[in-house]
């Protein structure tokens, strides 16, 4: 089927022609969504009682209902939905029939479960020799901790991101950020693994099994915390809203006059930047009260600061610090958006710290078409969703439809499957 | 030698730092020939990680940055001055024999050197061009510079990490440089797949802030559907479950200095198992049997549970809970998860590569294994211009005499 794409008017998605069978799960749902929004045909298989994601809050209008979970909605756009009870032989056979016409099977069952069902890679490749199977598990399929139970929180705690995040005050716990980032990271690797395996299959005709380890994924997503240990056996310590470091660094977050927080980003490093900040202070009438003015002017005398000497060269340290202080003073006196725009206008990369939903109201995100309307016919309305994470200019990313209702595509999928099998035999 | 998975792909790679170099590292580990093109005038120091620590010993210099080595294993490195006409001509020849061009400069930098997508396409019609920057190449902020902490703050990820009535805790590292790199690797692979199927190349405009904004989906729908913003009283409280779906759920103090344990009760059964372990009157009480009841009493439960965990070793708590099938884990320090956790060792997560100047160094491997064509990491990051001879000589067929001339005039 995949080699026989139909001719349509609209441009094709990057992954059009691929068929994915996804066993619904929390950890791999994003992988399925990414593949689907990039054009693959993704059939998500739920138990007859519905995916666990359907029980996850929040719910539309706070009405607890398996068709109203916003978590289900978000992670299952563009997918076809079928129900199968894999504990029955009849439905396992239906599942096998799906596999026979699939390119990829994506799953995040507990290790051992697929084997117990007789649906592990060794079984499934008998049905389709070049099948790509992608398994996402908390600790990998074969590792010593494979049987531990885990959630996003415990994986991120075991894997390093939590150790590095939190506050200067270490009597407060280290912090795990929201958004199920442990699952997200694993899903991103699952997509990479899927695509690499598919490129290999297309080139050489061999399928394979991709084993994605969430704990390992967290371990290699902590930037310098990991390589500072690997290279120098030193341990970074968490700091409020900025990089965990082996030696303390200056605060970077400032509360603006409107109460929003900003990050002062990369402070001035080259002459033109020191001049720009100096000018900005003057324009705002703040030069007089800025106590490190002389250091700032020393920065204006140098072509650039050699940041590799930070921590060794006292003068560089002081000048660099004065630049940060100047940005901090300005931020504390301006409303956040004015500070953000003013700094960027002067070439300084700073950040406004948005709450996630505020992105929808920002002119840049709007201009790029990030908020993406998705039709919900049952509710008689269209709802803005987060849009393309990757903007493909030649093979558009696209949400092809809202998440499926429970069993919505049973008939379509199993009937066309019957027709396909008939054609193929 | 090396993985065979992507050995038929050649990437003309202008990336640096982590957001870009982290992407081509993955492609290189799977066998793509990644040719890192660096500016000889700046000595490759556009990528500041080249000379930044950690260091293996007392030596310093542009070939000795530990982070740089970590992010650039298995790549070839050449120098090429794109300001000069001869440099541009060599670059055209390299593009002509490449499958993809990757970069994460500020928007417009490569185009100003004369290599916009249209110009790249004129050199090779089916070229895949992936640009990656903080705000993308299109839109009102396209001139804004960025780095990891900026990208993750603007997209909402910094805000959604923290405690109530406190400043954002955010991420203690450039999370969006990692995630941006992952999206970038996906972009290259998907565009190559599309090219293989259709014969068409394309430009992919990756914006890290946009990519990051997709990583908080349910919270964003809570706003667009229920008009409930995350910026509201008591929010965030991000060690707790995001929407109250699990209680208790948090990071609790353990015995010892800065020791912590993460515990998540997924459902009522997990809570029963935990309360049996605790054997304390407050926990055994049937009043906390349901999620709704536990949610109402979450502050009290957290306080009581903390009093229990504080008296015990983090690892003992985690094993005890795991023995009852309740998710729990020590908040592991780098040394623990890297050198003591049997799971990362068994996975082969810390391979040793050989770097021409640094010698043998451990680096981060990859968290996925492919049963037929797995990744491999043997060679460390390239020193500045380390592979000029190989790339210019063997791949572009330039003679030794020519190369010497190019070197003399500062083109390479």
Render pLDDT for B166-205 as a digit per residue (tens, 0 to 9): 999 999 999 999 999 999 999 999 999 999 999 999 999 9
* Chain mean position to CA B263: 26
Set of chain B residues whose Cβ sits within 8 Å of the Cβ of A240 = 167, 169
pLDDT of A318 higher than 70: yes
Set of chain A residues whose Cβ sits within 8 Å of the Cβ of B349 = 216, 219-220
| Whether the Cβ atoms of residue A114 and residue A107 lie closer than 8 Å to each other | yes
Whether residue A215 sits in one domain with residue A256: no
In this structure, what DSSP letter does residue B379 have? B
Note whether residue A229 is domain-resident: no
Better-scored residue on pLDDT, B211 or A419: B211
Distances (CA, A) of B263 to A151, B41, B90: 9, 53, 57
**Contact at CB, B226 and A61, closer than 8 angstroms:** yes
Which of helix, strand or coil describes residue B253? strand
Whether residue A169 sits in one domain with residue A286: no
Note whether residue B85 is domain-resident: yes
Whether residue B279 sits in one domain with residue B135: no
Q: Which two tokens stand for residue A51?
A: 């995916």
Q: Cα distance from B392 to chain A (closest Cα, Å)?
A: 28
Minimum CA–CA partner of A352 in chain B: B154
Better-scored residue on pLDDT, A4 or B89: B89
Q: What is the mean pLDDT of residues A344-370?
A: 97
Whether residue A400 sits in one domain with residue A267: no
Whether residue B355 sits in one domain with residue B304: no
CATH number at residue B110: 3.40.50.10540
Whether residue A190 sits in one domain with residue A65: yes
**Contact at CB, B364 and A220, closer than 8 angstroms:** yes
Q: Which two tokens stand for residue A121?
A: 């890679």
**Contact at CB, A177 and B169, closer than 8 angstroms:** yes
Task: Compare CB distances from A144 to B174, B193, B343 and report the shortest one's residue.
Answer: B343
pLDDT for the residue A80: 98
pLDDT for the residue B246: 98
**Contact at CB, B213 and A356, closer than 8 angstroms:** yes
Whether residue A407 sits in one domain with residue A320: no
Set of chain B residues whose Cβ sits within 8 Å of the Cβ of A231 = 54-56, 66, 69-70, 361-362
Task: Compare CB distances from B224 to A166, A252, A384 and report the shortest one's residue.
Answer: A384
* Chain mean position to CA A321: 33
Rounded-to-integer distance, Cα A94 and Cα B213, Å: 37
Note whether residue B109 is domain-resident: yes
Note whether residue B118 is domain-resident: yes
pLDDT for the residue A201: 98
Distant-in-sequence, close-in-space partners of A308: CB < 8 Å, separation ≥ 6:
B48, B51, B52, B60
pLDDT for the residue B1: 60
pLDDT, one tens digit per residue, over A365-416 is 999 999 999 999 999 999 999 999 999 999 999 999 999 999 999 999 998 8
Tell whether B234 is within 8 A of chain A (Cβ): no
Whether residue B192 sits in one domain with residue B274: no
pLDDT for the residue A418: 74
* Mean pLDDT split into 10-residue runs, chain B, 412 residues: 92 98 98 98 94 95 97 98 96 98 96 97 98 97 94 98 98 98 98 97 98 98 98 97 98 98 98 96 94 97 98 98 98 98 97 98 98 98 98 96 94 94
In this structure, what DSSP letter does residue B389 have? I
**Contact at CB, B186 and A172, closer than 8 angstroms:** no
Q: What is the mean pLDDT of residues A413-421?
A: 80
What percent of chain A shows pLDDT beyond 70?
96
Tell whether B371 is within 8 A of chain A (Cβ): yes
Residue from A257, A188, A268, A265 nearest A220 by CA: A188
Q: What angle do CA A148, A149, A150 make, to 5 degrees?
A: 115
Which residue, among B23, B151, B169, B373, would best test binding to A if mutated, counting the most A CBs under 10 Å from its CB? B169
Among B300, B330, B360, the domain-final residue is: B330
Which residue, among A7, A111, A241, A341, would best test binding to B if mutated, counting the most B CBs under 10 Å from its CB? A241
pLDDT for the residue A283: 97
Note whether residue B233 is domain-resident: no
Note whether residue A333 is domain-resident: yes
Among B277, B300, B330, the domain-final residue is: B330
pLDDT for the residue B297: 97
**Contact at CB, B145 and A347, closer than 8 angstroms:** yes
Task: Compare CB distances from B161 to A5, A175, A197 and report the shortest one's residue.
Answer: A175
Whether residue A318 sits in one domain with residue A259: yes
Task: Compare CB distances from B243 to A56, A221, A241 and report the shortest one's residue.
Answer: A56
Res. A10 pLDDT band, cuts 50 70 90: confident
Note whether residue A371 is domain-resident: no
Domain coverage including residue A285? 242-355
Tell whether B304 is within 8 A of chain A (Cβ): no
Minimum CA–CA partner of B195 in chain A: A14
Note whether residue B142 is domain-resident: yes
pLDDT for the residue A416: 84
Among A330, A355, A380, the domain-final residue is: A355
Instruction: Please identify which residue in the block is written with the tokens 């000048």.
Output: A319
Note whether residue A378 is domain-resident: no
**Contact at CB, B172 and A17, closer than 8 angstroms:** no
pLDDT of A424 higher than 90: no
CA atoms within 13 A on the CB side of B177: 26
Q: Cα distance from B339 to chain A (closest Cα, Å)?
A: 9
Bridge partners, residue A23, by sequence? A45
Whether residue A48 sits in one domain with residue A167: yes
pLDDT for the residue A422: 53
Q: Residue B146 class from Cβ within 10 Å (0-12 exposed, 13-18 middle, 19+ buried)?
A: buried
Produce one character per residue of B351-382: b if its CB has 16 or more CB atoms within 10 Å, e if not. bebebeebeebbbbbbbbbbebbbbbbebbbb
Note whether residue B339 is domain-resident: no
Set of chain B residues whose Cβ sits within 8 Å of the Cβ of A210 = 368-371
**Contact at CB, B169 and A175, closer than 8 angstroms:** yes
pLDDT of A423 higher than 60: no
Among B330, B360, B384, the domain-final residue is: B330
pLDDT for the residue A5: 44
Note whether residue B254 is domain-resident: no
Whether residue B380 sits in one domain with residue B318: no
Tell whether B67 is within 8 A of chain A (Cβ): yes
Whether residue B265 sits in one domain with residue B192: no
Whether residue B155 sits in one domain with residue B89: yes
Among A296, A331, A355, the domain-final residue is: A355
Bridge partners, residue A251, by sequence? none
Whether residue B60 sits in one domain with residue B181: yes
pLDDT for the residue A1: 39
**In 10 A of CB A383, how many CB atoms?**
18
**Contact at CB, A192 and B350, closer than 8 angstroms:** no
Res. A11 pLDDT band, cuts 50 70 90: confident
| Whether the Cβ atoms of residue A22 and residue A109 lie closer than 8 Å to each other | no
Task: Compare CB distances from B172 to A151, A153, A166 and report the shortest one's residue.
Answer: A166
Res. A312 pLDDT band, cuts 50 70 90: confident
Tell whether B382 is within 8 A of chain A (Cβ): no
**Contact at CB, B70 and A230, closer than 8 angstroms:** yes
Whether residue A400 sits in one domain with residue A347: no
Whether residue A101 sits in one domain with residue A250: no
Which residue, among A223, A261, A265, would best test binding to B if mutated, counting the most B CBs under 10 Å from its CB? A223
pLDDT for the residue A4: 42
Q: Which of A68-72, A304-308, B60-64, B140-144 has the lowest mean pLDDT?
A: A304-308
Produce one character per residue of B299-308: b if its CB has 16 or more CB atoms within 10 Å, e if not. eebbebbbeb
Domain coverage including residue B193? 10-213+345-408
Minimum CA–CA partner of B17 in chain A: A223
| Whether the Cβ atoms of residue B261 and residue B330 lie closer than 8 Å to each other | yes
Q: Cα distance from B64 to chain A (closest Cα, Å)?
A: 11
pLDDT, one tens digit per residue, over B247-269 is 999 999 999 999 999 999 999 99
Sequential DSSP letters for B277-288 = HH--HHHHSGGG
pLDDT, one tens digit per residue, over A202-234 is 999 999 999 999 999 999 999 999 999 999 999
Whether residue A172 sits in one domain with residue A55: yes
**Contact at CB, B173 and A393, closer than 8 angstroms:** no
Q: Which two tokens stand for residue B171?
A: 């991420």
Residue from B9, B63, B46 nearest B31 by CA: B9
Domain count, chain B: 2
**Contact at CB, A208 and B370, closer than 8 angstroms:** yes
SS3 annotation, chain A: CCCCCCCCCCCCCCCCCCEEEEECCCCCHHHHHHHHHCCCEEEEEECCCCCHHHHCCCEHHHCCCCCCEHHHHHHCCCCEEEECCCCCHHHHHHHHHHHHCCCEEEECCCCCHHHHCCCCHHHHHHHCCCCEEEEEECCCCCCCCCCCCCCHHHHHHHHCHHHHCCCCCCCCCCCCCCCCHHHHHHHHHHHHHHHHHHHHHHHHCCCEEEEEEHHHHHHCCCCHHHHHHHHHCCCCEEECCEEEECCCCCCCEEECCCCCEEECCCCCCEHHHHHHHHHHHHHCCCCCCCCCHHHHHHHHHCCECCHHHCCCCHHHHHHHHHHHHHHHHHHHHCCHHHHHHHHHHCCCCCEECCCHHHHHHCHHHHHCCCCEEEEEHHHCEEEEECCCCCEECCCCCCCCCCCCCCCCCHHHHHHHHHHHHHHHC
Domain count, chain A: 2
Whether residue A251 sits in one domain with residue A217: no
Tell whether B106 is within 8 A of chain A (Cβ): no
Which of helix, strand or coil describes residue B184? helix
CATH number at residue A403: 3.40.50.10540
Whether residue A270 sits in one domain with residue A212: no
Set of chain B residues whose Cβ sits within 8 Å of the Cβ of A217 = 367-368
Whether residue B356 sits in one domain with residue B306: no
**Contact at CB, B156 and A5, closer than 8 angstroms:** no
Which of helix, strand or coil describes residue B359? strand
Among A307, A337, A355, the domain-final residue is: A355
Note whether residue B106 is domain-resident: yes
Whether residue B360 sits in one domain with residue B323: no
**Contact at CB, B371 and A234, closer than 8 angstroms:** no
**Contact at CB, B218 and A74, closer than 8 angstroms:** yes
Q: Cα distance from B92 to chain A (closest Cα, Å)?
A: 22
The mean pLDDT value of chain A amounts to 95
Angle formed by the axes of helices A336-345 and A314-333, to 10°? 130
Which of helix, strand or coil describes residue B37? strand
Set of chain B residues whose Cβ sits within 8 Å of the Cβ of A74 = 217-218, 220-221
**Contact at CB, B368 and A153, closer than 8 angstroms:** no
Q: Cα distance from A422 to chain B (closest Cα, Å)?
A: 27
Rounded-to-integer distance, Cα A157 and Cα B256, Å: 17
Tell whether B68 is within 8 A of chain A (Cβ): no
Q: What is the mean pLDDT of residues A239-250?
A: 96
Q: Provide the phi-psi class of A220: left if phi over 0, else alpha when psi is between -120 and 50, else beta.
A: alpha
Minimum CA–CA partner of B50 in chain A: A308
């Amino acid at each position: 089927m995949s080699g026989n794409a139909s001719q349509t008017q609209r441009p094709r998605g990057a992954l059009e022609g691929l068929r994915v069978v996804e066993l619904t799960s929390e950890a791999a749902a994003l992988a399925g969504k990414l593949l689907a929004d990039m054009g693959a045909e993704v059939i998500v298989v739920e138990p007859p009682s519905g995916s666990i994601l359907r029980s996850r809050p929040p719910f539309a209008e706070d009405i607890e209902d398996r068709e109203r979970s916003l978590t289900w909605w978000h992670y299952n756009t563009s997918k076809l939905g079928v129900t199968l009870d894999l504990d029955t032989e009849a439905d396992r056979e239906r599942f096998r029939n799906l596999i026979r016409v699939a390119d990829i099977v994506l799953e995040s069952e507990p290790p051992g479960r697929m084997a117990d069902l007789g649906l592990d890679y060794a079984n499934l490749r008998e049905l389709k020799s070049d099948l790509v199977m992608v398994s996402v598990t908390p600790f990998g399929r074969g590792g010593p901790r494979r049987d531990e139970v885990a959630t996003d929180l415990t994986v991120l705690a075991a894997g390093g991101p939590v150790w590095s995040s939190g506050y200067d005050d270490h009597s407060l716990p280290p912090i795990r950020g929201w958004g199920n980032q442990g699952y997200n990271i694993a899903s991103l690797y699952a997509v990479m693994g899927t695509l690499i395996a598919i490129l290999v299959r297309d080139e050489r005709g061999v399928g394979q099994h991709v084993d994605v380890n969430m704990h390992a994924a967290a371990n290699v997503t902590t930037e310098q915390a990991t390589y500072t240990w690997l290279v120098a056996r030193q341990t970074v310590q968490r700091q409020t809203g900025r990089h965990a470091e082996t030696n303390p660094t200056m605060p970077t977050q400032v509360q603006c006059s409107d109460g929003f927080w900003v990050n002062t980003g990369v402070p001035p490093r080259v002459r033109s930047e020191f001049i720009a900040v100096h000018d900005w202070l003057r324009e705002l009438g703040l030069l007089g009260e800025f106590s490190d003015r002389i250091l700032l002017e020393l920065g204006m005398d140098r072509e650039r600061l050699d940041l590799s000497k930070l921590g060794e060269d006292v003068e560089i340290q002081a000048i660099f610090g004065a630049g940060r202080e100047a940005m901090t003073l300005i931020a504390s006196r301006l409303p956040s958006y004015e500070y953000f725009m003013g700094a960027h206008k002067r070439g300084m990369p700073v950040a406004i710290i948005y709450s996630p939903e505020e992105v929808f109201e920002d002119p840049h995100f709007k201009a790029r078409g990030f908020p993406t309307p998705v039709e919900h016919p049952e509710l008689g309305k269209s709802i803005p969703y987060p849009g393309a994470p990757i903007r493909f200019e030649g093979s558009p990313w696209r949400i092809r439809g809202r998440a499926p209702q429970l069993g919505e595509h049973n008939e379509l999928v199993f009937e066309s499957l019957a027709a396909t099998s008939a054609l193929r035999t | 030698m090396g993985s065979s998975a992507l050995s038929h792909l050649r990437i003309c790679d202008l990336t640096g730092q982590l957001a870009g170099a982290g992407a081509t590292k993955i492609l290189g580990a799977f066998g793509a020939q990644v040719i890192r093109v660096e500016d000889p005038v700046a000595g490759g120091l556009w990528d500041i990680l080249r000379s930044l620590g950690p260091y293996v010993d007392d030596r310093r210099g542009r070939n000795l940055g530990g982070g740089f080595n970590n992010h650039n294993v298995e790549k070839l490195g050449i120098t090429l001055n794109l300001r000069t006409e001869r440099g541009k001509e060599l670059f055209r020849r390299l593009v002509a024999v490449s499958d993809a061009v990757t970069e994460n400069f500020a928007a417009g930098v490569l185009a100003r050197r004369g290599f916009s997508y249209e110009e790249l396409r004129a050199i090779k019609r089916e070229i895949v061009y992936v640009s990656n920057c903080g705000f993308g190449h299109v839109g009102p902020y396209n001139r804004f510079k960025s780095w990891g902490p900026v990208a993750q703050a603007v997209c909402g990820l910094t805000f959604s990490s923290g405690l109530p009535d406190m400043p954002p805790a955010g991420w203690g590292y450039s999370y969006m440089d990692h995630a941006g790199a992952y999206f970038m690797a996906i972009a290259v692979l998907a565009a190559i797949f599309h090219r293989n199927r259709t014969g068409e190349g394309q430009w992919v405009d990756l914006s890290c802030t946009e990519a990051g904004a997709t990583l908080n989906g349910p919270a964003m729908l809570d706003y667009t559907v229920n008009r409930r913003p995350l910026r509201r009283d008591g929010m965030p409280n991000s060690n707790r479950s995001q929407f109250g779906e699990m209680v208790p759920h948090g990071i609790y103090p353990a015995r010892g200095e800065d020791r912590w344990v993460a515990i998540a009760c997924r459902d009522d059964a997990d809570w029963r198992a935990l309360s049996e372990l605790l054997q304390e009157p407050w926990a055994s009480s049937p009043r906390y049997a349901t999620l709704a009841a536990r949610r109402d009493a979450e502050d009290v439960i957290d306080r009581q549970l903390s009093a229990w965990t504080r008296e015990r070793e983090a690892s003992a708590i985690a094993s005890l809970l795991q023995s009852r099938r309740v998710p729990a884990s020590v908040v592991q320090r780098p040394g623990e998860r890297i050198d003591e956790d049997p799971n990362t060792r068994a996975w082969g997560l810390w391979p040793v590569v050989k770097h021409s100047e640094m010698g043998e160094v451990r680096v981060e491997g990859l968290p996925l294994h492919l049963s037929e064509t797995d990744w491999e990491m043997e060679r460390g990051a390239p020193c500045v211009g380390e592979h000029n001879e190989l790339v210019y000589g063997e791949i572009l067929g330039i003679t030794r005499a020519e190369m010497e001339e190019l070197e003399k005039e500062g083109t390479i």
